[in-house]
Amino acid sequence: MIRSYVAVGDSFTEGVGDPGPDGAFVGWADRFAVLLADRRPEGDFDYTNLAVRGKLLDQIVEDQLPRAVELAPDLVSFCAGGNDILRPGTDPDEVAERFERAISALSAAAGTVMVTTGFDTRGVPVLKHLRGKIATYNGHVRAVADRYGCPVLDLWSLKSIQDRRAWDGDRLHLSPEGHTRVALRGGQVLGLEVPADPEQPWPLLPPRGTLDVRRDDVHWAREYLVPWIGRRLRGQSSGDHVTAKGTLSPDDIRMRIAAVA
């Protein structure tokens, strides 16, 4: 019976790609928190989202881990290391060693720590070349989970998010439907009855021509790739000056989801 939940991580857990009516993001963790809260009496559930976009593993450990340990919740979701893996020259073996130290600290304070694997990037052009590196890191994450008894939210095996409709226009973050499917899978991982199947097939789409694909690629490069490269060259992060959402009411999350549904 989970009465408290803390989400720790980066843009994925903050919910980038899943905007609410006020422009702030919702995301899979907020949606997952609602699934958990639905199984508790009204007012008997606490949820805190500490995630901030763009953060590296060590930044997450420094900024978010102490607060998560202090709250000592029944459940912590921990998704970190993905931004490290995307950086040229990083060693997934070394990142995994730091990941394990974080899990050790969390496991001593929280009832359950749920970890997540990275996505299968075979269909993401800008990240396809990192697929082997991500798979190596995923193997370490699963091994750490085995050692500490952590449930695993396995994003690599979630086939429904291979569809382009599961992704935001930046091709790096999930769309609202993609976040919803991850939240549903999270519920399944914990053995909950969920209101829909995260692997439910998508409606068929008409085929796209070569010209349409090229037009989308040009738009994506201009709107997302060039600014991303610019931030990297300037040493900036998308999370600079961003504050974590903090403690959230499940009722408020439900209203924000309904407002954009």
Instruction: Look up residue 235 and give its two tokens.
Output: 């040493």
Is the confidence at residue 85, as pLDDT, over 90? yes
d(CA 236, CA 53): 12
Where does the pLDDT of residue 226 fall: very low under 50, low under 70, confident under 90, or very high at 90 and above? confident
Residue 208 has a pLDDT of 79
The predicted model gives 153-173 an average pLDDT of: 93
CA–CA gap between residue 55 and residue 90 (Å, rounded): 15
Tokens in use for 57? 């593993």
Determine what percent of the chain is predicted with pLDDT higher than 70.
Answer: 99
Q: How confident is the model at residue 83 (pLDDT cuts 50, 70, 90)?
A: very high
* pTM, 2 dp: 0.93
Residue with tokens 């953060």: 55
